[in-house]
Amino acid sequence: MPELPEVEIVRQSLNKKINGKIIKKVIVKNRNLRFKIPLNFTSILKNKRIIKVDRFSKYLIIFLSNDHVCLIHLGMSGTIHLVNKKRKNFITNTSFYHSPTLPKKHNHVEIFFDDLKFIYNDPRRFGYFEIIQNFELLKNKINKFGPEPFSAKFNFDYLHSFLKNKEKNIKNFLLDQRFVSGIGNIYASEILYLSKIKPDKKAKNLTKKELKKILINSKKVLSNAINKGGSSIKDFKNISGLEGEYQKDFKVYQRAGLKCKRFNCEGIIKKKNISNRSTFFCNLCQKH
């Protein structure tokens, strides 16, 4: 599933290509995604201008000229393709994972502009579209989630008060969107490695020093991932034909059995299932 950095790269691609454009036509080929696409979806979008493409956590947020907001979640396998109607573009995929070119099957939603066509493809159909009537309702929805790692609200006092006396392990908290928004399985492992914290350590046992490391490294890992175009762990290229580069910087993720990359550490990267999620860590420098 795309995490915050990957969705941010998609946002950047979309904002560059469709911001300011007017939606000429909408075709919904299959309403049966994770949640059914609303019956009035087409009428709400048609003839509206794209004001801005934004993002919160793993959600794409498209602001429309009628004050409505279209929220998109890519789920497990959702990808967004942009097809230029005037010239053939060989790379269509703005998203991560799967083919860089437009697949023939599972194209569920098509949104037409003068010169472009936006196509939502999703073989597993865990993604969804949601129409929100105004900005206030959008804020109410966002407020149900924890802050993003880049938010000023994600600070030491917040971590200390939220995690104290909690029995659950820190890896699970990093994946809990009610605690912090946008971190998924890949980056949780990388953050804990940089922080030298064992993934199954109980939250209540974290020291103040460790909490500060989590704060710093959450921002550091996600910023680096965004700067390097996200992580391409399958066949991904973005709309410019460029692969994400951050997977080359993985310290632990998918490195089970390999030597730890930390200077002067002789540890080996181990793999362990925590709450049915593959978790990677060094057996020496993440002892505690």
Q: Is 219 in a helix, a strand, or coil?
A: helix
Question: DSSP assignment, residue 259?
Answer: B
C-alpha to C-alpha distance for 203 and 211, rounded to whole angstroms: 9
Residue 204 pLDDT more than 70? yes
Structure-model confidence comparison of residues 89 and 53, the more confident one? 53
C-alpha to C-alpha distance for 109 and 60, rounded to whole angstroms: 15
Phi, psi of 64 (to 5 degrees): -110, 160
Looking at residues 204-219, what average pLDDT do you find? 97
The one-letter code for the residue type at 79 is T
Query: Which candidate, 134, 105, 136, 138, places its Cα nearest to that of 30?
Result: 105
- pLDDT per position as a tens digit, 85-107: 877 877 888 876 677 888 899 99
C-alpha to C-alpha distance for 192 and 182, rounded to whole angstroms: 15
Q: Taking a C-beta distance cutoff of 8 angstroms, is the pair 113, 18 a contact?
A: yes
Q: Which two tokens stand for residue 97?
A: 């994972």
C-alpha to C-alpha distance for 57 and 145, rounded to whole angstroms: 9
Reported pTM: 0.88
Question: Which stretch of 21-25, 104-108, 212-216, 225-229 has the lowest confidence by average pLDDT?
Answer: 225-229
- CA gyration radius, the chain: 20
Question: Does this chain's domain 4-142 share its CATH topology with 156-282?
Answer: no
CATH 3.20.190.10 fits 4-142, yes or no: yes
pLDDT at 248: 57
C-alpha to C-alpha distance for 182 and 284, rounded to whole angstroms: 28
C-alpha to C-alpha distance for 165 and 216, rounded to whole angstroms: 22
Q: What are the start-end ranges of the E strands in the chain?
A: 25-28, 50-56, 59-64, 69-73, 79-84, 107-112, 116-121, 128-132, 269-274, 277-282
CATH topology of domain 156-282: Helicase, Ruva Protein; domain 3 (1.10.8)
Between CA 9 and CA 14, with CA 12 as vertex, the angle to 5 degrees is 110
Q: Taking a C-beta distance cutoff of 8 angstroms, is the pair 273, 279 a contact?
A: yes
Structure-model confidence comparison of residues 244 and 77, the more confident one? 77
Q: Which two tokens stand for residue 259?
A: 């030597």
Instruction: Give catalytic residue positions.
Output: 2-3, 58, 277
Question: Which stretch of 91-100, 139-148, 169-178 has the lowest confidence by average pLDDT?
Answer: 91-100
Query: Which candidate, 218, 216, 234, places its Cα nearest to that of 226?
Result: 218
| Average pLDDT over all residues of the chain | 90
pLDDT at 148: 95
Looking at residues 58-68, what average pLDDT do you find? 97
pLDDT at 174: 97
> Can you give the residue ranges of every domain in the chain?
4-142, 156-282
